[in-house]
């Protein structure tokens, strides 16, 4: 069984303004934790995943990431490093969560969150707001990442490339838990 994508995060220097923007735009329900420079998000979409908004360190660029659930964040982080990743945040235990972050070989920041696969936790509340149910990892050479994610998380990638673009649709092999992921390159071959 593969590891599911269970949480998203938007990080930047103006996290409070960003929380208001997405609340106004999508109707998300947020709860601020000023002491942590963090805001949790319940999308009220009735499905998909919830997330959070975090403040970046001074001088750090804004970024979007997703978190992959694993019962052993340190083991997953060690394996990621052996496959060419670099640790950004070591395994950190907090009252609400145990997590870590790394950059994949192409430089995308990915999170790990400790979980046992039981779907415990508050989950997404009922509602009809837009779901967060898909993420993409953009890279200049996405095919080079397909083995990385397959080995690390047990994901299977189906090559759906066409003329002028490379795209892989990821099956996380997580038994319907979490959300879908794709891996792509823009037609120019540059991410972003």
What superfamily does domain 5-185 belong to in CATH?
2,3-Dihydroxybiphenyl 1,2-Dioxygenase, domain 1 (3.10.180.10)
CB atoms within 10 A of CB 66: 23
DSSP state for residue 94 in the 8-state scheme: -
Residue 45 has pLDDT above 60, yes or no: yes
Reduced DSSP (H G I as helix, E B as strand, rest coil) percent helix, strand, coil of the chain, to 5? 20, 40, 40
Choose between 118 and 26: higher pLDDT: 26
> Which of helix, strand or coil describes residue 133?
coil
* pTM as predicted: 0.90
CB count within 10 Å of CB 140 equals 15
Q: Is the dihedral of CA 130, 134, 135, 138 positive or negative?
A: negative
- How do residues 74-128 score in pLDDT, each as one tens digit? 999 999 999 999 999 999 998 888 999 999 999 999 999 999 777 655 689 999 9
- Domains of the chain by residue range: 5-185
Cβ partners under 8 Å of residue 93, min gap 6: none
């Amino acid at each position: 069984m593969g590891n599911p994508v269970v949480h998203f995060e938007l990080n930047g220097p103006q996290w409070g303004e960003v929380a208001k923007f997405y609340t106004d735009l999508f109707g998300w329900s947020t709860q601020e934790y000023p002491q942590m420079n963090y805001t949790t998000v319940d999308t009220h979409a009735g499905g998909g995943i919830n997330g959070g908004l975090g403040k970046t360190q001074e001088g750090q660029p804004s970024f979007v990431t997703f978190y992959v659930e694993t019962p052993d964040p340190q083991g997953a982080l060690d394996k990621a490093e052996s496959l060419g990743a670099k640790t950004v945040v070591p395994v950190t235990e907090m009252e609400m969560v145990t997590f870590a972050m790394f950059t994949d070989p192409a430089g995308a920041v990915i999170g790990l969150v400790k979980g046992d696969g039981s779907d415990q936790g508050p989950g997404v509340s009922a509602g009809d707001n837009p779901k967060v149910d898909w993420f993409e990892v953009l890279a200049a050479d996405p095919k080079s990442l397909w083995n990385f994610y397959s080995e690390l998380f047990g994901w299977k990638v189906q090559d759906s490339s066409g003329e002028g673009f490379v795209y892989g649709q990821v099956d996380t092999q997580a038994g319907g838990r979490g959300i879908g992921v794709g891996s792509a390159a823009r037609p120019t071959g540059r991410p972003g």
